Structure 1
Amino acid sequence: MTQTRTILTYGTLSGALLSVLFLTTLHFGDMDNAMGMAVGFLTMFIALSLIFVGVKRYRDHELGGVIGFLTALKLGIGMALIAAAFYVVGWEAYLFFTDYAYVDAIIGMGYPGYGDPLYRMPITFTEILPVALIVPLVSAALLRNPRFMPLEAKD
């Protein structure tokens, strides 16, 4: 599997899982801000853990168990950007299907620019960006060591 195909496959899987978990958590009812943030970041980490899986699989099956830090980081960031795009599209879909009630509430709090998708989408992207950068960094740092979770030889 090429780098591009690995990025697309695991980025899409991570993004789809992220969207499903995000939409599922919305049905838990009203949570206070602290609990909502904790659940949100937890779902992000769970979904983005597929980045680690994708980089490890590429290292083990395509590179013979050895990968450099920059190669692993590039793979991970590519997957993370695709997953983040799914997150943004998921939010936009949620807003659409709820008749933009959340947008109206934010505008009512004094943020008139939030009604413009070109303003709102980059803000939504920055919500997931810190987590989406931490996971590839940690994955690359761990997986550059070939002794970390090596592929077991088949008997």
Structure 2
Amino acid sequence: MLRTILKYGLIAGLVVGGFELATFVLFRGMPPLKYGMVVGYTTMLIALSAVFVGIKRHRDLDRGGVIGFWPALGVGLGISFIAGIFYVAAWEAVQSMMHMDFASSYANAIIASQKAKGASAEALAKLSADMETFKVQYANPLYRLPMTFVEIFPIGVLVSLVSAGLLRNSRFLPARRG
């Protein structure tokens, strides 16, 4: 089981980390917010398809074609955890390589978005103060690293739950005998 978790976690991590690095290199920094989120979450789902494949492989080859919900969920969460670690490491590498100040770019984009929507001066002042607080917090790795991990891990939990629910049924995509 551990070997499966490590193998498929590594695959998912390399996919999500590789796409993350490629995205920021192609955009020469932070992509526009609307594209960045779509690309980012789509990439996470593609990478986390390794959860489904890893659970199925574990069920079919290591467990004789049968797996319960909880063991399947455990495999899925393990794969998701490793993918999350790679995601965080890739994000830190991107920030370092690109000499990027994500917190400032993000804060400026949020403030500009609210200005474009016609927010009042007092709402913009409060938002600016909140964004300054965010920039200070984001500079602290004890805040930034878990915050980055939480971007991907809930998606991994969801993919793990769905995969475990489907694959606990041994008739769902049964192992090929031959």
Q: After TM superposition, list the pairs within 5 Å mapping 1:3-152 onto structure 2.
A: 3-29=1-27, 31-105=31-105, 109-110=131-132, 111=134, 112-152=136-176
Q: Using a 3 Å threshold, how does the CA distance of structure 1 residues 4 and 66 change in structure 2: closer, same or farther?
A: same
Deviation at residue 97 of structure 1 after TM alignment: 1.1
1:60-117: CA deviation from partner (whole Å, max 9, x where unpaired): 0011111000000000001100000000010011111122432454577412111111
User: Which amino acid is the alignment partner of residue 62 of structure 1?
Assistant: D
8 Å CA contact 1:69–1:141 kept in 2: the answer is: yes
Question: Counterparts of 1:114 and 1:122 in 2: how far apart (Å)?
Answer: 10
**TM-score of the superposition, structure 2-length normalised?**
0.79
Aligned residue identity for 2:145: M
Runs (4+) of structure 1 moved beyond 6 Å? none
- Give the partner amino acid of 2:96: F
Any conservation in 1 of the 2:24–2:94 contact (CA below 8 Å)? no
* Letter of the structure 1 residue corresponding to residue 93 of structure 2: A
How far apart are the structure 1 equivalents of 2:160 and 2:52?
Answer: 7
TM-score (norm. length: structure 1) = 0.90
C-alpha contact (below 8 Å) 2:24/2:31 kept by paired residues:
no
Find the aligned partners of 2:24 and 2:174 in 1 and give their Cα distance.
38
Q: Which runs of 5+ in 1 are unaligned?
A: none
Is contact 1:67-1:143 (8 Å) kept? yes
Superposed CA offset, 1:29-83 (max 9, x none):
2643222211111000000101111110010001111100000000000110000
Aligned residues: 152
- Matched to 1:66, the amino acid is V
Q: Distance in 2 between matches of 1:53 and 1:92?
A: 28
Matched to 2:24, the amino acid is L
Q: Match of 2:120?
A: none
